[in-house]
């Protein structure tokens, strides 16, 4: 053996190409994780209450934004370096996980208190279900769709973890579940790993809609994505475009379709699993099954579904559910009330464009972030069509949620839900145009993607946490609510200033809950408002308790429903009424007891 | 109806995953009933309600790629847990012990069916 050969033996061998590629993303992961840690630590320095009409965005320190931009930069550079390749997908997954934790967990880093009143309420519903051990369908709409609450109640009891303790990090858990399911969806549409990862990233940034808290809609959306993934893979059909729209040729085209998955046993098994997912979805949420129904019909219409009976079965399940378990709710709430494009636009857009100048700016940012993704998606659709792709599925799935827009205003939230259900496919099409058709990403294109993603990240944080002034509660407000339940006689009416209150997490069915905002509205001010509130409490034989908090005042003022002065005047006048007594106060909340009318 | 007593373990193929699942499907509910300390109790509840029964059912279909199996198993488990909990509430016989027991039963039945199919 020569000395050169001996040296070659002891010298470490250069890594094989696939090994080099496996670690290609490592430097970006290190930078990205450091950036995420910096952003998380910066978010922890936020002190409550948030006092800006712009929400959390104005109170987050510069280090947070530096971390967020560097994290986006690390992702884009990893994408350009080839780290997206199959052998280095762990790197992209880690960066994506870091983005989810940083973006969806910002408020949880700032405060361990559950954000948003609805999450508190959902805990109360789950608790009341398992406490009573039965479904009281007449109570309210939630009890007509009790599936998700039954799941949470059972999990809480089985695990020994309080349901309220599940809420602070629910957005992160739901975000990760959604992205895992979305990865299955996008993999069915493309084998290009760059497109897959960029779609997931853009989805994450574009999802400011804030429906990922502990809620039936978050659970339903996860099931929706898994169902769509199964329909685009195992239950998919191969078909070109129909040669013409003549019925005879359409019939031939329909019969010429073949299944993507040749194994019949696998298809039948997966179809049965899909039915189970549909059952859970129908029992858990009002809107999601309808979104799924239109998506399934769209896939059937473009000839890409090998399960054309599934939408029929889902329609049947929906009809049965509405006719029996949900019938008591539907008696007072006909499903086709508030229909029409005008009503949906007024409730979903125009009525939201009010309030203080800061709040209006937040609403505008929400519109801009959504519009940017929709415009990019439209450009992406045009781009892929011009390149000769005739896969109609992403376009169809991006557009089908809009079918439901004029069908129901959904309490003014229909546009938000439409945007959420369209987002996965909008993000996919947007990724197409952002990446372009080149095999190798040039520096200018990488820079463009980096700038777009960083701007979307800033917009997303602004939009998502734009209500932080009233939906992030202080410990004093939580303490006041605990006191409220401690002093409230059984069955007493509870009245809060506005919906943003950390309440209804217990004794959900025991107390009637009202708000000053609901009782007074914009028309009843001053004395009329006092009369309405006191009257509502006194009509109850147990009387009532009114809790006025910093968050509820902020909500009314920010949304332009009441001025700060009017709120203060209301409270002074309430405190002076005969039979009204202040029973608790702390820096952020006061509780007044209202005696019932003596007969 | 398949009689579990007819299952001759010696005739089973070396399906370690199936046997592990079978063991977990029986053990997890029993351990949960004993209210073990945290975080073991939470982990067992997550496994029992969020993965095991779904995984046992997904194996029956023949789906094979690990990531697909993982995500679909979670979705199926959560759906099954929803259906079982809700069904018991509508029947006014809800208890978390019964819910977890039924989920364990589903997991065991699915594993037995899978084993029977492969023998």
* Neighbour tally for A304: CB within 10 Å: 21
Choose among A168, A171, A202, A176: nearest CA to A79. Answer: A202
SS3 B8: coil
CA of A206 vs chain B CAs: smallest distance (Å): 22
Q: Is there a contact between B45 and A181 if contact means CB atoms under 8 Å apart? A: no
A276 with B83: Cβ contact below 8 A: yes
CA distance A466 to A56: 6
Q: Which two tokens stand for residue B6?
A: 């007819």
Neighbours of A356 (CB within 10 A): 17
Q: Residue A579 class from Cβ within 10 Å (0-12 exposed, 13-18 middle, 19+ buried)?
A: middle
For all residues of chain B together, what is the average pLDDT?
89
Residue B26 to residue B20: CA distance in whole angstroms: 10
For residue A224, the chain B residue with the least C-alpha distance is B75
Please say if the pLDDT value at position A191 is more than 80: yes
Averaged over A317-329, what is the pLDDT? 90
List residues bridging with A585 in a β-sheet: A590
Q: Could B74 and A177 be called an inter-chain contact, meaning their C-beta atoms sit closer than 8 Å?
A: yes
Query: How close A184 gets to chain B, by Cα (Å)?
Result: 7
Q: Searching chain A, which residue's CA lies closest to the CA of residue B66?
A: A184
pLDDT of residue A240: 77
Query: B97: nearest CA in chain A?
Result: A158
A561's CB contacts (< 8 A; 6+ apart) are A498, A517, A522, A555
Please report which confidence band the pLDDT of residue A345 belongs to, taking 50, 70 and 90 as the band edges. Answer: low
- Record: contact A159-B46, CB cut-off 8 A: yes
Which residues on chain B place their C-beta less than 8 Å from a C-beta of chain A?
32, 35, 38, 41-42, 44-46, 48-49, 57-58, 60-63, 67-68, 70-72, 74-76, 78-83, 85-86, 89-90, 92-96, 99-100
User: What is the C-alpha separation between A188 and A199, in angstroms, rounded?
Assistant: 13
pTM here is 0.93
Token pair listed for A112: 């361990």
A226/B100 CB distance under 8 A:
no
Give me the pLDDT at residue B9, please: 47
Pair A204, A100: CB distance under 8 Å: yes
Per-residue pLDDT at A442: 86
Range among A38-42, A345-349, B115-119 with highest mean pLDDT value: A38-42
The SS3 of residue A495 is strand
Token pair in block for residue A29:
């992961």
Round to whole Å and give the CA distance between A147 and B84: 9
Chain B residues touching A177 at Cβ < 8 A: 74
Q: Could you tell me the residue ranges of all domains in chain B?
A: 4-118
Per the DSSP assignment, residues forming a β-bridge with A494 are A513, A545
Q: Closest partner residue to A265 among B45, B49, B62, by Cβ?
A: B62
Question: What is the reported pLDDT for B2?
Answer: 41
Cβ proximity of A586 and A549 under 8 Å: no
Q: Which residues of B touch A193 (CB under 8 A)?
A: none
ipTM: 0.92
Identify the closest residue of chain A to B33 by CA–CA distance: A158
Q: Are the C-beta atoms of residues A92 and A21 closer than 8 Å to each other?
A: no
Residues of chain B with Cβ-Cβ distance to A133 below 8 Å are: 89, 92-95
């Amino acid at each position: 053996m020569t000395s050169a050969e001996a040296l070659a033996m002891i010298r470490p061998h250069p890594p094989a190409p696939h090994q080099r590629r496996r670690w290609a993303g490592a430097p970006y992961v290190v930078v990205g994780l450091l950036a995420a840690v910096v952003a998380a630590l910066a978010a922890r320095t936020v002190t409550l209450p948030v006092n800006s009409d712009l929400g959390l965005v104005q109170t987050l320190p510069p280090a947070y934004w530096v971390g967020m931009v560097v994290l986006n930069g690390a992702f884009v550079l990893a994408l350009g370096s080839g780290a997206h390749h199959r052998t280095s997908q762990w790197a992209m997954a880690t960066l994506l996980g870091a983005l989810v934790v940083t973006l969806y967990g910002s408020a949880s880093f700032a405060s361990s208190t559950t954000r948003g009143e609805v999450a508190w309420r959902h805990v109360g519903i789950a608790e009341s279900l398992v406490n009573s051990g039965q479904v009281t369908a007449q109570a309210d709409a939630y009890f007509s769709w009790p599936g998700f609450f039954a799941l949470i109640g059972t999990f809480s009891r089985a695990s020994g973890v309080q349901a309220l303790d599940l809420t602070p990090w629910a957005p992160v858990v739901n975000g990760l579940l959604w992205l895992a399911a979305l990865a299955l969806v996008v993999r069915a549409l493309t084998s290009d790993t760059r497109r897959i990862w960029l779609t997931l990233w853009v989805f994450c940034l574009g999802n400011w809609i804030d429906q990922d808290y502990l809620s039936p809609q978050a659970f339903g959306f996860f099931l929706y994505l898994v169902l769509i993934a199964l329909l685009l893979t195992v239950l998919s059909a191969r078909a070109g475009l129909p040669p013409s729209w003549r019925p005879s040729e359409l019939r031939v085209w329909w019969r010429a379709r073949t299944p993507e998955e040749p194994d019949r046993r696998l298809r039948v098994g997966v179809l049965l699993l899909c039915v189970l997912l549909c059952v859970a979805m129908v029992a858990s949420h009002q809107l999601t099954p309808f979104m799924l129904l239109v998506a399934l019909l769209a896939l059937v219409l473009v000839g890409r579904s090998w399960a054309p009976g599934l939408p029929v079965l889902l329609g049947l399940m929906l009809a049965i559910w509405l006719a029996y378990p949900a019938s008591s709710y539907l008696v007072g709430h006909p499903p086709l009330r508030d229909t029409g494009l005008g009503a949906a636009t007024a409730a979903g857009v125009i009525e939201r464009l009010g309030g203080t100048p800061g709040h209006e700016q937040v609403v505008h940012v929400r519109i801009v972030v959504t519009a940017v993704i929709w415009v990019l998606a439209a450009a992406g659709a045009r781009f892929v069509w011009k390149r000769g792709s005739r896969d109609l599925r992403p376009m169809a799935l991006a557009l089908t949620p809009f079918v439901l827009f004029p069908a129901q205003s959904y309490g003014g939230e229909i546009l938000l839900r439409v945007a959420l259900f369209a987002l996965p496919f909008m993000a996919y099409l947007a990724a197409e145009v952002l990446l372009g058709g080149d095999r190798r990403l040039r520096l200018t294109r990488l820079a463009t993607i980096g700038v777009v993603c960083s701007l979307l990240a800033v917009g997303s944080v602004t939009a998502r946490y734009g209500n932080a002034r009233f939906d992030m509660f202080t410990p004093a407000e939580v303490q006041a609510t605990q006191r409220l339940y401690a002093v409230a006689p059984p069955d007493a009416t509870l009245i809060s200033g506005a919906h943003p209150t950390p309440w209804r997490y217990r004794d959900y069915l025991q107390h009637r809950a009202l708000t000053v905002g609901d009782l007074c509205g914009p028309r009843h001010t001053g004395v009329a408002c006092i009369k309405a509130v006191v009257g509502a409490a006194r009509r109850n034989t147990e009387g009532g308790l009114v809790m006025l908090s910093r968050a509820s005042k902020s909500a009314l003022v920010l949304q332009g429903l009441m001025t700060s002065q009017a709120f203060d005047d209301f409270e002074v006048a309430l405190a002076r009424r005969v039979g009204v007594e202040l029973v608790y106060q702390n820096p952020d909340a006061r509780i007044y007891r209202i005696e019932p009318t003596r007969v | 109806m398949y009689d579990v007593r007819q299952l001759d373990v010696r005739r089973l193929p070396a399906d370690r995953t199936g046997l592990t699942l079978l063991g977990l499907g029986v053990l997890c509910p029993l351990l949960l009933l004993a209210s073990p300390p945290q975080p073991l109790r939470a982990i067992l509840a997550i496994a029992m309600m969020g993965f095991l029964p779904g995984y046992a059912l997904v194996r029956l279909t023949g789906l094979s790629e690990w990531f697909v199996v993982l995500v679909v198993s979670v979705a199926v488990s959560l759906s099954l847990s929803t259906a079982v909990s809700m069904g018991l509430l509508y029947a006014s016989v809800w208890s978390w012990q019964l819910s977890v027991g039924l989920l364990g039963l589903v997991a065991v039945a699915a594993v037995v069916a899978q084993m029977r199919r492969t023998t």
